[in-house]
Structure 1
Amino acid sequence: MKDTSMRGELLLTITAIIWGTSFVAQRVGMDYIGPFTFTATRFLIGTLSLIPIILIMGRLNKNKQKDHTRFGTKKDLLIGGLACGVALFFGISFQQAGLVYTTAGKAGFITALYIVLVPLLGIFLHKKVSKRVWIGVALAVVGLYLLCITEGFKISKGDFIVLCGTVFWASHILIIDHFAPKVDGLKMSFIQFFVASILSLVAALSVETIKLSSILDSAGPILYTGIVVVGIAYTFQILGQKGTNPTVSAIILSMESVFAVLSGMVLLGESMALKEIIGCVIMFIAVIIAQLPSRKEPVIREKKNVI
């Protein structure tokens, strides 16, 4: 059990690093193509990259059919994959569109607010929200103000668009947490990427002009975000969450925001004002506080009733 937990935590840490650096690739990739075209191509590549992995894993598990009894029905797999795909499409679409107008570092920290929203959305699932979560929410609001709100109490267009996507990222976490223990993680990952790519393609055909030459000009960022970020990182997320407490998962994944700022500074030369840096620090503290387990609640009860 301990080995499984450590393996899950390692996979989630790698996921956070990859997600953080992906903000840079996403921003650079849109120098030539629109956000929906970029998203459609990267998810299509991510979908295709999983096919050989699924086939290989299928052969390795051929002699372990008895272990497959722990998986849910095909209906669970389809519903889980479809729900994940829809949440993923909206989350990444808002994030990608927002990156046109804001920095990779700021987008990373704003996106990390989904970790704070996870417990709040849990209210609709009849789960108790503890005091530490409300403290985290209050700190997150203060941090968001310092990071995003300018003089005249205005939030920039890009920051607001990225902020809208946090609701869908929080939903994505909850959906995975519900379905991942029941189904084959790789197959659910495949379905969610396929659904997200189709929805993105429909959106791209509706509002953007798709040119093959422009896609080729963005080949580097597309391949990185398609194979490494989509094919590897999102799959690591599903596999990692299987053997890790949801609270621990959320804390590890929140490190994505730190890696986003660091990669933005190193690779794009981005910088932040002192006010924005303080906002980032407060938001990061808020994310950690919101996900720390309550001392008064045993782990088993927390997993079932308290987020």
Structure 2
Amino acid sequence: MRVTTLSIEGRSARSALMLSLVASLLYGSQYVVIKDGMGGINPLLFGAATMGTGGLLAMLLVRRRKGLDLSIFKRWEVWAGTFFATAMIACQYIGLTLSTASVGGLIVGSNVIFVAPLSAIIFREVIGRVQALGVAVGLMGLMTITTGWDLSFLGTNVFLGDILLLIASFSIAANYPLTKFAVRVMGNDEWVMSFHLLSAFFLLILSLFIGGPGEPGDLSIPAVLFVGLFCTSVPTLLWAIGLRSLSMTTSATVLLSESAFAVLLGVVLLSEPLDTMTVLGAVLVFLAIFTVSRTVAQKR
């Protein structure tokens, strides 16, 4: 009986890892599409369109499974998730207009560095010395990527874009514990649907007051459809399902492949250069995430 239970748990963990991996590859593909396809459209409006598309797709899944239950919109988890999702999309999309897709993928994908301390605070996961060192190395890597240790870089638009991407990364990390709480009282699809639809609404409102609609490019509509259908609710739903069987830090570590895939696509498809400091920062971030995840795996 014990062997059977362990076997089932093992398969469940492997399935969760695969779901998280697929989610990370879908997430990683969005950076070059956003960077190349947004054109002159307001990033906030672009974000509202992509999140709205993803939210409607999730709503179809909810209706097919059980029907809509509007009571979920009274839950604090939904509104907290909406706040961080709105901040994440706004900062990420605006940040990508000022920075490169590859750097955007590196910074946003480093959210595990913030997940580790958050998991310690909220779920009382113990952070050992090695794990704390990993977080410190990761922060140093992010500092290297965003500034290149050049003080003259601090006043540039590129630095502003990197800071916005850093805020987006923290916002993603904040949604990890919220997801843990939310799926205890609602379905994964309901959770994903709720904050996608609400954040789309608030992003639309923000776009009306900040910048106007802008000028859509030839690739804007295809980009909205691609990101909305494949890079919002679908990978988020896969990730949320996988998170049921994984720790927050382990799940975030698997999503590290998002950064690697984003860098690969940025260099290959957009011919984005990677300077020495960016490469050094990326190495430090990858080393930090490996260190954090390895210590968590040993504890499990």
Post-superposition offset of 1:83:
2.0
* Structure 1 position 84 matched with structure 2 position 84: no
How do 1:248-267 residues align onto structure 2 when only pairs under 5 Å count? 248-267=250-269
1:165 equivalent among 165, 168, 183: 168
Post-superposition offset of 1:135:
0.7
Aligned to 2:46: 38
Aligned to 1:29: 37
Amino acid at match of 1:258: A
Aligned to 2:58: 50
Deviations 1:226-246 (A, max 9, x none): 011113111111112123333
Post-superposition offset of 1:164:
2.2
Query: Aligned pair in 2 of structure 1 residues 35, 295: CA closer, same or farther (>3 Å)?
Result: closer
Query: Aligned pair in 2 of structure 1 residues 205, 216: CA closer, same or farther (>3 Å)?
Result: farther
Give the length in aligned residue pairs: 284
Amino acid at match of 2:153: K
Aligned to 2:3: none
Structure 1 unmatched ranges of 5 or more: 60-73, 300-307
Aligned-pair identity (%): 20
Amino acid at match of 1:276: T
C-alpha distance in 2 between matches for 1:131 and 1:122? 16
Amino acid at match of 2:249: T
C-alpha distance in 2 between matches for 1:47 and 1:115? 25
Query: Alignment RMSD, CA only?
Result: 2.4
2:272 equivalent among 257, 270, 273: 270
Query: Aligned pair in 2 of structure 1 residues 145, 246: CA closer, same or farther (>3 Å)?
Result: closer
C-alpha distance in 2 between matches for 1:179 and 1:77? 12
Amino acid at match of 2:169: T
**Normalising by the residue count of structure 2, what TM-score does the alignment of the two structures yield?**
0.86
Aligned to 2:228: 226
Question: After the TM superposition, which parts of structure 1 deviate over 6 Å for at least 4 consecutive aligned residues?
Answer: none
Aligned to 1:239: 241
Structure 2 unmatched ranges of 5 or more: 1-8
How do 1:122-161 residues align onto structure 2 when only pairs under 5 Å count? 122-125=119-122, 127=124, 128-150=126-148, 151-152=150-151, 154-155=153-154, 156-161=159-164
**Normalising by the residue count of structure 1, what TM-score does the alignment of the two structures yield?**
0.84
Conserved in 2, the CA contact under 8 Å of 1:36 and 1:203?
Answer: yes
1:187 equivalent among 187, 190, 203: 190
Amino acid at match of 1:24: V
Post-superposition offset of 1:77:
7.8
